[in-house]
Amino acid sequence: MKFVRKIGITGRVYGALIGLVMSGLCITICYLFPIWWCLYWLPILYFPIGFWIGYTYDRINALANFDCLTGVANRGLLMRTLYRCLNKAANSGTPLSIIFIDIDNFKQINDIHGHDQGDLALKIVAREIKANLRSTDIAGRFGGDEFVIICPGASRIQSEAIARRVKKSIECKAFGTFGNIKLTISTGISVYPEDGSTIDKLLSFADKVMYRNKEKRCLAGGVSVKLQ
């Protein structure tokens, strides 16, 4: 993902900055030890330490910004990204769409088939979401069994097409069934500025639409859990 590459670059930058500090230490060492000793040992010591610092920083940032189970952005990174995208949309006059996704009957999946199957459901949903996004879209786990997709520049028609594609992919029989449970999702969409001008309003609108769609599906018999 784009964020992973960005974090990797940031880690290397911080590693380089720390390396500059270490350079001061190197100068001191060169003053205290013979030049031949410094030329031989400093490269051996310096580069592994610099690499380890950059790698460690990358790992810390990944843990702080991405969901450990699914690999998508966590809520903190998602909200920061949404804030930036909303500001950009407001300044440029372009649309911004939010797709709210909820796994149907997720509690029953956990209760009946165990939390390992619930975790597997979350991983499958996250994987299929990522596989069906545009290069500019950002997906994240909002909490529990809820996911959010940020679609910069997408109109309602475009975001609806993305939501349908994700839904079809997740509900495919090839990987949408755990034993006797068919994995299904409910979605809701909000578009800036028609449905709200703030993050809270856009998320609230998409959440309400998603629950209305879920209720309609339940009434139509489209959401069910078949017991063994």
Exposed/middle/buried for residue 201 (C-beta within 10 Å: 0-12, 13-18, 19+): middle
Q: How confident is the model at residue 172 (pLDDT cuts 50, 70, 90)?
A: confident
**Is residue 125 pLDDT above 80, yes or no?**
yes
Query: Looking at the predicted structure, is the pLDDT value of residue 104 above 60?
Result: yes
Tell me yes or no: is domain 75-219 CATH 3.30.70.270: yes
pLDDT on residue 213: 92
More confident residue, 69 or 57: 69
More confident residue, 29 or 225: 29
Residue 181: the pLDDT is 74
The pTM score is 0.74
Round the average pLDDT of the chain to a whole number and report it: 80
**In this model, does residue 97 exceed pLDDT 80?**
yes
What's the pLDDT score for residue 119? Answer: 92
Domain boundaries, the chain: 2-65, 75-219
